Amino acid sequence: MHNFKPEQIEKWDKQYVWHPFTQMNEWEKEKPLITARGEGSYLYDIEGNKYLDGISSLWVTVHGHRKEEINRAIKEQLDKLAHSTLLGQANVPSTLLAKKLVEITPQGLNKVFYSESGSTAVEIGLKIAYQYWQQKGEEKYKSKRKFISLANAYHGDTVGSVSVGGIDLFHKIFAGLLFETVSAPAPNCYRCPLNLSRETCSMDCIKEMESLLARHRHEIAGVVVEPLVQGAAGMVVAPEGYLAKVRELCTRYNVLLIADEVAVGFGRTGKMFACEHENVEPDIMCLAKGITGGYLPLAATMATDEVYNAFLGSIDEFKTFYHGHTYTGNPLGSAAALANLELFEQNKLIDALQEKILFLTEGLKKFSQLHHVGDVRQKGMMVGIEIVENTETKEPFPAKYNIPHRIVLEARKNGLIIRPLGNVMILMPILSMSLAELREVLDITYAAVSKVTEEEDPC
């Protein structure tokens, strides 16, 4: 690649690239962070400046950047085969990976359907669930065409995944494109949709879920949830027992449970999969993000034998799942995923996380002392720090002051990359970070929040 000057790359970026979730009018006014290389827990920009990757490059990097074992696996696979289709063929890495995923995921998930992103994994899960009921063989099931999803849910940006999403900022404008769903209240204890207090609430949000299922059971194909943590909603952590209760209700009312583990899977919550915390076995599970350790786009939608068997029949019954992607089961991505999972085992990463999780818990306590921190939420290595103008009323700062982005820029000046979700500052450190690096993540974030909201005039 040519060694272009930083200013030339910046000019071309602003001239040609449309960035995701970005107001480009603002982007074009600022000096952008242009990453050039990574190593371990750090990213380096095109000018050689060094930054701790506090968001795991959007929640995907597991063992660090440029991990030798994953690099080697990709290079070795590249010398054999870069890509061949799974339509009418198979390949070795995707076969081995499917076997491995079945071995490590919750019991009963025995079939793997590949795609390339979290959005497509969820989209596939929805289509599988819908077709499953249409092919069950009894007329009474054909009315099961809708899905229950949680308020403020985020399951991706394709039309199907947006339909079961619930973040108005992202999704409202597309309402005319979406299919009808049933919305259940989110288990958000800080901003309870039922106006209850977490100290006295008896998990009334699950009672609302039960009421919806009781009324709509004959038309509900599945309940879609982000197990334990609603990520894009601002790291909203469900109360203990909520997920297990949802599983129980799905079984009782004969609907499928679709677990979107895209963000929470592969160690982020302190176990390999979030469902493990409450011994939940979903009917369909969606995986992506950390599946390749942050290297290549790959996703998997897993299903039980019960679900899979509804698609079996003679060719003239047309029960086939007519869905596929060009790069489904890509050998390079599968090879990276296999190396990623081998590192989990070799490094006993899940066990090693427990000390880091406790370290984060202790280190986060000081944030509650800041005058404009309304709530601090954590599950495993997933952290949300909600910024408010008034902690009594929980009123956020007016959007025009752009407080979260100013905190991001302040942290960046001190060598840390973080990113907000609305008014919530997100920390999603690389799982292999050392305690010293985690301490630096916490210290820089604290200083940035303090300076922007307390030392400066925020407004």
| Domain containing residue 399: CATH number | 3.90.1150.10
Q: Look at the chain and report how many structural domains it folds into.
A: 2
CB 221 within 8 A of CB 145: yes
Q: Which helix (H) or strand (E) holds 301?
A: strand 299-304
CB atoms within 10 A of CB 146: 18
Q: How confident is the model at residue 200 (pLDDT cuts 50, 70, 90)?
A: confident
Please state the rounded mean pLDDT for residues 21-48.
96
Q: Which amino acid is at 209?
A: M
In this model, does residue 394 exceed pLDDT 60?
yes
Is 8 inside any structural domain? Answer: no
pLDDT computed for residue 3 by the predictor: 81
270 closest CA partner among 140, 431, 410, 119: 431
Q: Name the residue among 285, 352, 424, 258 with its Cα closest to residue 62.
A: 352
Residue 81 lies in a domain: yes
Q: Cα–Cα distance between 423 and 405 in angstroms, integer?
A: 9
Q: What is the reported pLDDT for 44?
A: 98
- Residue where a domain terminates, one of 346, 372, 387: 346
Task: Please tell me the predicted confidence (pLDDT) of residue 235.
Answer: 97
CA separation for the pair 274, 83 (Å, rounded): 31
Q: Are the C-beta atoms of 285 and 324 separated by less than 8 Å?
A: no
Task: Assess whether 42 and 93 both reside in one domain.
Answer: no
* Residue environment code for 346-365, b if the CB has 16+ CB neighbours within 10 A, otherwise e: eeebbeebeebbeebeebbe
**Helix 349-364 vs helix 331-346: angle between axes, to the nearest 10 degrees?**
80
Question: Does 295 share its domain with 398?
Answer: no
Same domain, 181 and 264: yes
Question: Residue 21 falls within a domain, yes or no?
Answer: no
Contact by Cβ (8 Å): 199, 131: no
- Is 410 part of any domain? yes
Predicted pLDDT of residue 267:
98
- Written as six digits, the tokens of 72 are 């080697």
- Cβ–Cβ < 8 Å for 71, 40: no
Mean pLDDT, the chain, rounded, equals: 96
Domain check: are 274 and 193 in the same one?
A: yes
* 19 within domain boundaries: no
| pLDDT score recorded for residue 1 | 57
Q: Which of 346, 369, 389 is the last residue of a domain?
A: 346
Residue 189 Cα to chain centre, angstroms: 20
Domain boundaries, position 241 = 71-346
Query: What is the mean pLDDT of the segment spanning 431-438?
Result: 98
Q: Tell me the average pLDDT across 411-428.
A: 97
The answer on 274 and 171 residing in a single domain is yes
| H-run or E-run covering 221 | strand 220-225
Average pLDDT of the residues in 50-66: 98
Q: Over the stretch 291-320, which tens digit does the pLDDT of each residue have? A: 999 999 999 999 999 999 999 999 999 999
Structure tokens at 233: 């909603």
pLDDT tens for residues 316-360?
A: 999 999 999 999 999 999 999 999 999 999 999 999 999 999 999
In one-letter notation, the amino acid at residue 178 is L
CATH of the domain at 309: 3.40.640.10
My answer on whether 270 and 308 are in the same domain is yes
The tokens for 246 are 């949802």
User: By the 8 A CB rule, do 31 and 10 touch?
Assistant: yes
* Same domain (yes/no): 164, 289: yes
**Residue 193: what pLDDT?**
87
Question: 96 pLDDT exceeds 80?
Answer: yes
* Residue 49, Cβ density class (10 Å: 0-12 exposed, 13-18 middle, ≥19 buried): middle
Rounded distance, CA 22 to CA 410, Å?
Answer: 18
171 and 311 share one domain: yes
Last residue of a domain, one of 298, 330, 346: 346
Residues 369, 298 share a domain = no
Integer Cα distance of 263 and 50 in angstroms = 26
Calculate ∠ Cα 416-360-456, nearest 5°.
Answer: 50
CA 100 to chain centre: 21
Question: Are both 379 and 447 inside the same structural domain?
Answer: yes
Q: How far apart, in whole angstroms, are the C-alpha atoms of residue 28 and residue 23?
A: 9
Q: Indicate left, alpha or beta for 199 from its phi (over 0: left) and psi (-120 to 50: alpha).
A: alpha
What share of the chain has pLDDT > 70, as a percent?
100
Q: Does residue 22 fall inside a structural domain? A: no
Please indicate, yes or no, if residue 271 is contained in any of the structural domains.
yes
Shared domain for 298 and 259, answered yes or no, is: yes
Residues 55 and 83 reside in one and the same domain? no
> Domain for residue 18, yes or no?
no
